[in-house]
């Protein structure tokens, strides 16, 4: 079965984000338009919670998410924070209000930062 087409109101013909990526809770800007590539990959993100709970390993509950913005360079982010590494993975959180996880980063792959479309808003 073919994967559904990426949402064209969000993804440009070049596969980049048309809109800015914002924190859902506080509206802080995470990415400028055009700085990330749409990427389909199955990643597990724990349920949204405050950072202290994440640091202790989070909970077993969460979501398998398929659609992400892939960012190759950490400095492409306007604002982003990270949880402590848990099992070689760091979760991305909002730098301002620490809402998260909004994304996923594996320490084995320094050039891949994933931001889940379902965990952010677009403007
Ligand atoms: Zn925020």
State mean pLDDT over 55-80. 87
pLDDT of residue 7: 84
Q: How far is the CA of 20 from the centre of ligand 1 (A)?
A: 14
pLDDT at residue 48 is higher than 90: no
Tokens linked to 36 = 């990330």
CB burial class (10 A; 0-12, 13-18, 19+) of residue 61?
Answer: exposed
Q: How far is the CA of 25 from the centre of ligand 1 (A)?
A: 5
Question: What is the value of pTM for the model shown?
Answer: 0.89
Q: Tally the residues of the chain.
A: 123
Q: How far is the CA of 66 from the centre of ligand 1 (A)?
A: 22
Residue 75 to residue 80: CA distance in whole angstroms: 10
Delineate the domains of the chain, giving CATH numbers in brackets: 21-122 (2.170.150.10)
pLDDT at residue 109 is higher than 80: yes
pLDDT at residue 108 is higher than 70: yes
pLDDT of residue 9: 95
pLDDT at residue 61 is higher than 90: no
Tokens linked to 122 = 């677009």
Q: How far is the CA of 94 from the centre of ligand 1 (A)?
A: 5
Q: How far is the CA of 100 from the centre of ligand 1 (A)?
A: 8
Residue 5 to residue 11: CA distance in whole angstroms: 10
Q: How far is the CA of 59 from the centre of ligand 1 (A)?
A: 21
Higher local confidence (pLDDT), 99 or 51? 99
Mean confidence (pLDDT) of the chain: 91
pLDDT at residue 4 is higher than 60: yes
């Amino acid at each position: 079965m073919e994967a559904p087409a990426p949402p064209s109101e969000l993804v440009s013909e070049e596969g980049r984000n048309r809109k800015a990526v914002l924190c859902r809770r506080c509206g802080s800007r995470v990415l400028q338009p055009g700085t990330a590539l749409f990427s389909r990959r199955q990643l597990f993100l724990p349920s949204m919670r405050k950072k202290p709970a994440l640091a202790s390993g989070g909970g077993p509950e969460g979501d398998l998410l398929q659609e992400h913005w892939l960012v190759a360079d950490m400095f492409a982010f306007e604002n982003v924070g990270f949880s402590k590494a848990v099992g070689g993975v760091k979760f991305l959180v909002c730098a301002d209000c620490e809402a998260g996880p909004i994304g996923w980063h594996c320490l084995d792959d320094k050039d891949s930062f994933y931001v889940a479309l379902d965990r952010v808003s677009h403007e």
